Structure 1
Amino acid sequence: MIKLAIIGLGTIGNRILRAAAGHPDIEVVAVYDLATVQLTDPAYHNVQVEKSAQALVQRGDVDIVYIGTPPATHAQYCHLALDANKAIWCEKPLAVDIQEAEQLVARLADSNIESAVNLSLASSPVVRQIEQLMADIENRDILSVDFQFHYSSWPRRWQAGASNWLCLPEQGGFLREVYSHFVFLHQRLIGDLQLLNSQIEYQREGYAETYVQANYCTDNIPVRLQGVIGGNGPDTNNWIVYTKDKSIHFSGFRALKVSVDNCWQEQPISLEGDLDVTQLSEVVKMMRGEKHKLASFEEALKVQKVVEALLVKG
Structure 2
Amino acid sequence: MDSTNLRSRMGRILAAVTAFTVLLGGLTACGASSSSAKSSGTSSEASADSKARNLLPKDIRDKGEITAGATAQFPPFAYLPAGGKTLVGYEPDIVNEIAKRLDLKVNWSTFDFQGLIPAIQSGRIQVAAAGLTDTSEREDTAIFVNDLIGRNGAIVPKGDKNKYKKFNDLCGKTVAAVTGSVGVTIVTKQNDSCKADGLKPMTILELPDNSATLLAVTSGRAAAAMQTWPGAGYQAQQNSDLAAIVINEGMNARFTNGLAIDKKSPGLADAFAAALQDMVNDGTYAKIMKANGVDLKTNGITKVYKNWTTNGFK
TM-score by length of 2: 0.26
Q: Which has the higher strand share?
A: 1
Higher RCO (CA < 8 A, seq sep 6+): 2
Q: Which has the higher helix share?
A: 2
State the structure with more CA Rg.
2
TM-score by length of 1: 0.26
